[in-house]
Structure 1
Amino acid sequence: MSFQAYLDAVEKKTGLTPRELLAQATERGFGPGTKAGPVVEWLAAEHGLGRGHAMAIVHVVTKGDRIASTHVGTSGTHRDASDRLWLDGVATRPADWPTA
């Protein structure tokens, strides 16, 4: 499953875009220096997310919308077509945005 697919699944599960969850995380004081544990706990308690989906949001909270180029264009399990993630929701993603 691509990183983008994880974020899309989080949106489907929560009804919130990754950007909206990022805003909530920022309001709670989470950011680049935050450890994963507190974010995962918050996402589980408030949004019912499991660890895998929560870790996708942890990445966005701590590293932004970029992913390592080692996952781009590969055939591995966690592959993506781009090193950028779309955070504004499936409905607003441009048709030409690279997805897996």
Structure 2
Amino acid sequence: MTFAAYLSNIEKQTGVSPDEFIRLATEKGFTTSGTKATAITDWLKADYKLGHGHAMAIYKLLKEQDGLTN
């Protein structure tokens, strides 16, 4: 499965677009340098019922968008 397909499946499952996840993560302070993947994946699993793989895809999206580092 391609990364784009992962994002498409996530949007179908949650009703939230990739751009919207970026906005929401930014509002929560998750797009600052040094934010750990666990903080983001825990949020996505709790609030959006995403599995680990899909949550990590959103983390990857945020990391590539905002230059997060672990």
Looking at structure 2, the residues matched to 29 and 63 of structure 1 have their Cα atoms a distance apart, in angstroms, of 16
| Count of equivalent residues | 65
> Identity percentage over the alignment?
49
1:60-82 CA-to-partner distances (Å, cap 9, x unmatched) read 112129xxxxxxxxxxxxxxxxx
Return the TM-score normalized by structure 2: 0.86
The higher radius of gyration belongs to 1
Kindly state the Cα deviation for residue 33 of structure 1 after the two structures are TM-superposed: 2.7
- Report the secondary structure of 2:30's partner residue: coil
Amino acid at match of 1:12: K
Q: Is there any run of 5+ residues in structure 1 with no aligned partner, and where?
A: 66-100
1:14 aligns with 2:21: no
Query: Residue by residue, what CA displacement relative to the aligned partner does 1:25-59 show, whole Å, maximum 9, x if unpaired?
Result: 01010114311101000001000000100111001
Corresponding residue of 1:93? none
CA contact (8 A) 1:34 1:62 kept: no
Q: For 2:64 and 2:34, locate their aligned partners in 1 and report how far apart those are by CA, in whole Å.
A: 9
- Structure 1 stretches (4+) deviating beyond 6 angstroms? none
What residue identity is the alignment partner of 1:49? L
Secondary structure at the residue paired with 2:11? helix
Q: Which runs of 5+ in 2 are unaligned?
A: none
Q: Once the 2 structures are TM-superposed, how far is the Cα of residue 6 of structure 1 from its aligned partner?
A: 0.5
